[in-house]
Chain A
Amino acid sequence: MTAGNGALEVRNLAKHFTIGGGLFGPEKKLVRAVNDVSFTVPKGTSLGLVGESGCGKSTVARSLLRLIEPDAGSVVFDGIDVRAAKGAALRQLRRRMQIVFQDPYSSLNPRRTIQQALEEPLRVHRLGTAREIAEKIETAITEVGLPKQALDRYPHEFSGGQRQRIGIARALVLDPELIVADEPVSALDVSVQAQILRVLERLRDKRGLSFLFVSHDLGVVRHFCERVCVMYLGRIVEQGVTAEVFDRPLHPYTKLLRDSSPVPDPTARLTLTKIMGEVPSAANPPPGCTFHPRCVRAAGPCMTDIPALNEHDRGRQAACYHPETWPGLQAVAAAG
């Protein structure tokens, strides 16, 4: 494995949950929330993770930081095995990798000032003298575009967009290298969303931060992320450079997502010819390619065998027996 290049490398990550199985409840079931997920986030870049509700995006995000323990696979950050890390090494990793959640309110204690909220992670990690801590906090709050006076106020005195900035500032005080952002702008309206994206862009450029950016908004991901992984029912079904994936999708699911995304142009109204069902339950996935019941191209092996994530030209990958065809974009013949 590569060592010390600042990249996050995830290989064959899996996380399963069991639901039900109580004494009088429904029978016990296994939910395969995340299966065989692999991706790399090189230092200073952003990788988007998109897909419909329930496809496993948050489970991936949380597994990386071991907020939930994955069942299988490896997570390596800057050459360090995250899953094997213990004690001081794990604490150190948890400083370098930070998470920002969708709902900034629930992650802030209403009885503590912003100053106290930002101090807490620094104290936990015992970083610096009182003066150094104060300086770090001031830098962070200014970097997210809030006035210093904000530090003496309480969470309820802020709007949703401002609270999201505070959430980002709290991640920043620890000087992280990687930010896992789980739908950081989904709860915000468009103009505030644009403000937060600006803040994140500036941080990426100035601090060289890497991002794993979870979102269900393709427009936001196209804007913020160089590369994207498309997830469906716990698996990555397509991966590549964002603009290329959305302009020339290989997987019919990626195409469905793209064609369903409304664009601000009344001459380009959606023309979905057929209503394409809903995501099946992760507790009871269909056999074969889990997308086949909704797929216009499904035929033959799609019903019985899970397609592998195959290489295509231009560094693209897609898990599909009948990918969309585009000139100059062929499957790379498997070696041997």
Chain B
Amino acid sequence: MQQNQETALDIRGLRTEFKVGGRWYPAVRDLSLDVAENETLAIVGESGSGKSVTALSILRLLPQAGARIGAGEVLFEGRDLTKLSEREMSSVRGNSIAMIFQEPMTSLNPTMTVGEQIAEAITIHRGASQADAMAEALRLLKEVKIPSADSRLHDYPHQFSGGMRQRVMIAMALACRPKVLLADEPTTALDVTIQAQVLMQLDELKEAYGMSVVFITHNLGVVAQIADRVAVMYAGEVVELATVDALFANPAHPYTVALLRTMPRADRATESLEPIPGSVPPVTAMPEGCAYASRCPLKQPSCEDKRPELLPFDGPGHQVRCPVRLEQTRG
């Protein structure tokens, strides 16, 4: 569906490492992903699979010490973000690439009114006058459907509900008309009703601005709701990449299949939930071969020897990192 669009952000061979006990260990391993203009790419995976580290690496917001980008490039508007100076990078942040974090309260300033904060972002990044910036802040609050926006503009963050704060975060992220929006679990803490509103709003705004959205979540229901394409991450790598329809209709990787079986549905009976045995390996104990092998029902002896590659599966743009599955479908 998005094939004809220009690529907005192109991650190639990204490797992000953390220093643990004097040694560097990769938390994101040779990750390649691209997002087109006006496309929503969802990244899904269990806790600890490397979703947040990927987003933080793109914006170079990793901790100062004990973390580094060990390899790869992040191409955006003809430049490699990993090579920019800190000053150049800070003009990219919040300007052309914006991020929404999971916990909105920690990223809002409690001592400034909501209007002042949005206006500040606008004056810093766009050099608008204070009056223009306030007018724009009001427009944005209305755009994210804050009721009685005129008066709420002068309220402080603690006077807003969780859902409203999350929408304020979206308004701030949009203040600079970013080309790319990185949203890290932006709805996980919200009630389903508010989540539904935020998801639909994000989708409308994406269309209106022609933005690219990278949407991080561990909720497959949310993925089905919002994504055009989906990258399933496990132990720091992409194990499956597909359009949203192909992923749900024809999941290829045993991990994707297993994830789909863990989610109980509100709209129909799930006979039995099947938990995935075991857990994601820690970055310090990554196995040699396939990282999922120890939990995998399709495991064969060869799986533990060699790390599998991400290879084309049937259907356009569908890729999977599982030789056993590929063999099954060919044979």
Q: Chain A interface (Cβ within 8 Å of chain B)?
A: 52-53, 159-160, 189-195, 197-198, 216-220, 222-224, 243, 246-247, 256-270, 272, 275-279
Contact = CB atoms under 8 A, between A and B. Distances in A.
Contacts of A247: 267
A89 B223 CA distance: 50
Contacts of A223: 264, 269-270, 273
Majority secondary structure, A binding face:
helix
22 contacts: A53-B162, A190-B46, A190-B259, A191-B276, A194-B262, A194-B275, A195-B275, A197-B273, A198-B275, A222-B264, A222-B270, A224-B264, A246-B267, A261-B266, A263-B265, A265-B248, A266-B227, A266-B244, A268-B267, A270-B199, A272-B197, A278-B193
A222 B259 contact: no
Interface residues of B, number: 46
Contacts of A276: 193, 197
B3 interface: no
Contacts of B294: none
A269 B223 CA distance: 10
Contacts, number: 137
Interface in B227-245: 227, 244-245
Given A222-B265, A262-B221, A270 B196 contact: yes
Interface in B197-225: 197, 199-200, 218-225
Give the most central of B147, B164, B199, B221: most A CB within 10 Å: B221
B145 interface: yes
B47 A278 contact: no
B262 A190 contact: yes
B41 to A, nearest CB: 14
A267 to B, nearest CB: 8
Contacts of B258: 191
A261 B265 CA distance: 9
A243 B274 CA distance: 20
Contact of A159 (B195, B196, B279): B279
B194 interface: yes
B161 interface: yes
A275 B197 contact: yes
Contacts of B262: 190-191, 193-194
B260 interface: yes
B131 interface: no
Contacts of A160: 47
A159 B220 CA distance: 22
A259 B193 CA distance: 8
Given A53-B162, A269-B225, A262 B275 contact: no
Given A53-B191, A191-B46, A278 B224 contact: no
Nearest to B267: A263
B199 A52 contact: no
Contacts of A262: 192, 195-196, 199, 219, 221-222, 224-225
Given A262-B221, A278-B163, A52 B273 contact: no
Contacts of B161: 278-279
Interface in B260-296: 260-267, 269-270, 273-276, 279
B218 A261 contact: no
B268 to A, nearest CB: 8
A263 B224 contact: yes
